[in-house]
């Protein structure tokens, strides 16, 4: 039995293009993988540990084998628990909208929690090595505009390139993507058509996941 962790990075649950497509994929996956466990997580409704001064100091104390205060130990334990919850999954589905050419702040907070030396990556012979092996991910991106390769607009895309850098960095190299665009530029009717087409594509990917 595999565990699929479905991570929603939008607070607009009922009105999110990325969530609509990702949820269609998850439901199709559920229908074909009845024995698998599916865990859903909306980052805007999840009590994520803050990666604040207390947590940062705790991290550096761990890195340098220094003693922790009780408060630091408690803060670091929350970070490790969140990492362990992520690592317990075999497969991941992310619903990721574009905010200001990048990702929502809540997803960035989650990534800052997850990416920790010795837990999700290490350094061997001067090179970074991801520690999460034999896992796969599907990322559903939604963005209001279009950022095609080979155009000046492509330089504004700090959403897809970032996610597809950070996941392999921690060892998740089997990454598939569906992009819904534009969701704003051409009006709601065109956006709806793009979403329908993306849902069909998502359902076709289920058998390969």
pLDDT for 148-206, tens place per residue? 899 999 999 999 999 999 999 999 999 999 999 998 878 888 888 889 999 999 999 99
Distance (Å, whole) CA 10 – CA 95: 7
Lowest mean pLDDT of 49-58, 95-104, 178-187, name the range. 178-187
Give CA separation, 155 vs 67, 70, 145, 150, 182, in Å: 44, 45, 13, 9, 16
Question: Which domains does the chain possess?
Answer: 3-208 (3.40.50.360)
Q: pTM score, two decimals?
A: 0.94
For the chain, give the percent of residues with pLDDT over 90.
89
- DSSP helix, strand, coil percent of the chain (3-state; round to 5): 45, 20, 35
Burial zone of 42 (CB within 10 Å; 0-12 exposed, 13-18 middle, 19+ buried): middle
The pair of three-digit structure tokens given for residue 87, joined into one six-digit string: 């690592």
Cα atoms found within 13 Å of the Cα of residue 179, Cβ hemisphere only: 15
Distance (Å, whole) CA 122 – CA 129: 5
Distance (Å, whole) CA 150 – CA 169: 25
Q: What is the mean pLDDT of the chain?
A: 95
Query: For residue 21, what pLDDT is reported?
Result: 97
Furthest C-alpha separation in the chain: 59
């Amino acid at each position: 039995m595999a565990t699929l962790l479905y991570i929603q990075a939008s607070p607009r649950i009922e009105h999110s293009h990325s969530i609509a497509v990702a949820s269609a994929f998850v439901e199709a996956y559920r229908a074909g993988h009845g024995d698998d466990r599916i865990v859903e997580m909306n980052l805007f409704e999840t009590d994520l540990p803050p990666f604040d001064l207390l947590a940062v100091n705790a991290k550096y104390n761990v890195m340098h084998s220094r003693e922790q205060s009780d408060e630091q130990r408690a803060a670091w334990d929350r970070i490790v628990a969140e990492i362990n919850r992520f690592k317990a999954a075999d497969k991941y589905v992310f619903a990721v909208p574009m905010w200001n050419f990048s990702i929502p702040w809540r997803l960035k907070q989650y990534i800052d929690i997850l990416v920790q030396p010795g837990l999700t990556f290490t350094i061997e012979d001067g090179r970074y090595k991801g520690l999460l092996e034999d896992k796969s991910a599907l990322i559903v991106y939604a963005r209001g505009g279009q950022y095609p390769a080979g155009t000046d607009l492509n330089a504004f895309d700090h959403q897809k390139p970032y996610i597809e850098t950070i996941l392999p960095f921690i060892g998740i190299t089997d990454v598939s993507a569906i992009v819904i665009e534009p969701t704003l530029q051409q009006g709601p009717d065109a956006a709806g058509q793009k979403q329908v087409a993306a849902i069909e594509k998502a359902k076709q990917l289920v058998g390969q996941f």
